[in-house]
Structure 1
């Protein structure tokens, strides 16, 4: 019998780079397209490895690990419970739900003037700036590098003193400073740091046992590496410069966690804020933060914290509905959730190539599109996901 060379290569790739955990509806043949896309990304040097989880509000359809934890020669094989630097996923997994939880409790309002929480902003031409403008990145604030000396005060004073880039609420301009302020707002409203509040109110009740800022020593051996701009490997230390200046706890970045924990978080949102019989967020809060709060000609649609449609929406793929939402992380992660399809896809990677954004976004899109094709209810996705990466 003659075996095609391409078939042999494909089999070797699967053996070398892929491990999986059995899930309730797992079908090994069903995931072959996804395996091929992930392993191709490894061979092309986009990533060293990664984890993909696809599920619904009640079950996990697929849970799979690929490759290794870094580019180091002695790097470990990737496992499905690997801990990753979640980067900007911090914004929607820690900060946004914390703010919405506080709003539920009446401890702040989405229409509070920012000056109410930051007197430093008073008298500086920002009286129209509201909490919701920070959540939707429509504040007009711009990012800047933080000083190592009192970086939090520098963040607040720097934001208060800068000239806004346009009228408040008129333009979407993605900026980490919005969420640095929101993280500090949680502290000013509760007396607890963001990591303490999110841990108590969001992570523990949702069963996210491996999600935290500043992973402790017992978890460092399970942390996937990231790379600095000078190609230095970081393990268990936040990649983002400003988050490092802020001590590893910030509203825009700094969170670490597993794909399994993000799957639990996604299931909680799909289950209208409930997990294991406990209401983590009210159904109203879930709908609030995932509703379209800002729209600019249909090209940019943002929820509170969450992305719905924008230049950052690569993980939306081709098979997700208009009511879906998600977010990305610079370190190589993405999360997309579709209540209409009862579907979510988590992609976390040990990213190697930070320059080729187009190729990396194509990977995100391809993984999500395949997740929708393989496990979504919409028949039209079958014909939309046939193109190669």
Structure 2
């Protein structure tokens, strides 16, 4: 297993909580044979005539113990997508880039979790009201103000805003922001409707409230204290490749992407957005999982208090999806929380069994396909079935 550099991060005088370390499945209270099947299943994902992904990285564990870790396939396998043949144009093997445990990935919508944590930190400090109206902080976002959208509605995807807005088609930044400010709910507020726009509004609210850009809030409030040195907004030249992004299957003509944000709206907004734009590694995301499972603490650092972690993870979840069998498999049903990303990324943490699963893959390389969370569901179910007893110390 690979060794990863760790930083002590910041602290607030709280007692130290356990940090991640490598160990056997048995040490973590996990069945070794079932964990081996989990690893074999992930290693098979880049194989076959129609592989699920070009490559993948897995980290899974229980308590502070990393019990499974694997990298397979390719971070870069294709030079382009051949739309006539409907397949990728493969690079010579010598020119491909193998996947490693330390390969960064475009997290896509997992970015939403970081925006959520940044917002909940302000709620914990008392500077942001969870049931306050967005218009109280952003009066120039006239549609949200007129319709009384609240902070809680943004965090729970119940604002009624449509899933996305074609900001990438607007000619410049002022016109893109004007579209966002004028966007009104298109369905009844209070009903769940997953929307990138919720996190874009939350981004602007946080920036107005704190006077700091979102990337600064994420770095100073989350990644630096936790020692997540591999997590940042792009560009990240060494990241796993994503898509040969071209119309008509994509929303912009940008060619093969590697290290540049895949999401077209995040790209149009300069790469830093509330809904997408972060790059990270599996290990860094495992650290985040452990911090949340530890009630907001990791080592000597604390990013949230336990009550506010519970607020995020309790159904229906703030930012987090809770008990979603479609990608959580048999971990769902007892309070597991997590998220997926369009590029092929996912994480799940289960407070009941103290387990975590990070599965990062570049499923859109060389081009996007219809969503398929079957491998994520299978991996989570294998981890759930591996739980045999109490977590290791």
> Please, what TM-score do these two structures have when normalized by structure 2?
0.80
Moved more, 142-151 or 274-283: 142-151
Matched, 1:349 2:361: yes
- 1:38 counterpart residue number: 42
Matched, 1:275 2:298: yes
Structure 1 segments unaligned to the other structure (5+ residues): 1-19, 293-301, 379-389
The CA distance in 2 between the partners of 1:306 and 1:132, in whole Å, is 13
Matched, 1:178 2:198: yes
The CA distance in 2 between the partners of 1:124 and 1:350, in whole Å, is 35
Matched, 1:226 2:242: yes
The CA distance in 1 between the partners of 2:388 and 2:111, in whole Å, is 26
- 2:24 counterpart residue number: 25
Give the deviation of 1:236 after TM superposition: 1.0
The CA distance in 1 between the partners of 2:264 and 2:204, in whole Å, is 17
Matched, 1:236 2:236: no
| Offset from partner CA, 1:122-174 (integer Å, 9 cap, x none) | 477734210110111110111211155443x54554344344223221x1111
Q: CA RMSD in A?
A: 2.3
Moved more, 347-356 or 58-67: 347-356
Matched, 1:51 2:74: no
| Offset from partner CA, 1:229-263 (integer Å, 9 cap, x none) | 43932111000000001100000000000000000
Moved more, 124-133 or 341-350: 124-133
Question: 1:1-389 to 2 correspondence within 5 Å?
Answer: 21=2, 23-26=22-25, 30-43=34-47, 44-72=50-78, 73=91, 74-92=95-113, 94-122=114-142, 126-142=146-162, 143-146=164-167, 147-151=169-173, 153-154=174-175, 156-169=177-190, 171-215=191-235, 220-221=237-238, 223-230=239-246, 232-292=255-315, 302-309=316-323, 313-351=325-363, 352=365, 354-357=368-371, 360-375=372-387, 377=389
The CA distance in 1 between the partners of 2:77 and 2:53, in whole Å, is 8
The CA distance in 2 between the partners of 1:63 and 1:36, in whole Å, is 11
Structure 2 segments unaligned to the other structure (5+ residues): 4-21, 27-31, 79-90
- 2:85 counterpart residue number: none
Give the deviation of 1:192 after TM superposition: 0.9
Q: Would you say the 8 A contact 1:321–1:340 is kept in 2?
A: no
Residues 250/105 of structure 1: CA separation in 2 closer, same or farther (3 Å cut): same
Q: Would you say the 8 A contact 1:228–1:239 is kept in 2?
A: no
- 2:83 counterpart residue number: none
Q: Would you say the 8 A contact 2:323–2:333 is kept in 1?
A: no
Q: Would you say the 8 A contact 2:143–2:182 is kept in 1?
A: no
The CA distance in 2 between the partners of 1:120 and 1:376, in whole Å, is 54
The CA distance in 1 between the partners of 2:279 and 2:345, in whole Å, is 11
| Offset from partner CA, 1:270-292 (integer Å, 9 cap, x none) | 00000112221111110111112
